[in-house]
Amino acid sequence: MRILVAILLILFVLLQYDLWVGDGSLATVWHLKQEIKKQKAENQQLRERNRALEAEVQDLKQGLEALEERARDELGMIKEGETFIQVIEDEEQQTDDSLQ
């Protein structure tokens, strides 16, 4: 009977060792949960930074298009490879149009 109790006690101690100290122990699980929390927080910060960068890229793209349109309208600039066509109206026609 004493041998059986001793064997059961040894098995109990071994199982407790695995639970508290060994691979997959409670301490390891707790540590991994903490690492997951840190990683999730870092991922959220990176998502926010990516959103901000994406918004900045969109602003730059739209800004360049707006700048290009303004350069065309106000300064008469053209892109490389485009053909510029200027329409000159007759002076008499311009004067008649301005009187109306």
Using one digit for the tens of pLDDT, what is the confidence trace for 11-40?
988 888 777 777 777 888 889 999 999 999
Distance CA 88, CA 48 (A): 53
pTM comes to: 0.47
Distance CA 57, CA 47 (A): 15
Matching residue, tokens 């959220």:
44
pLDDT in tens, 43-83: 999 999 999 999 888 887 887 777 788 788 888 888 888 88
67 in helix, strand or coil? helix
The two structure tokens encoding residue 78? 């053209």
2-20 vs 26-75: helix crossing angle, rounded to 10: 20
The two structure tokens encoding residue 50? 């990516």
Q: What is the pLDDT of residue 60?
A: 78
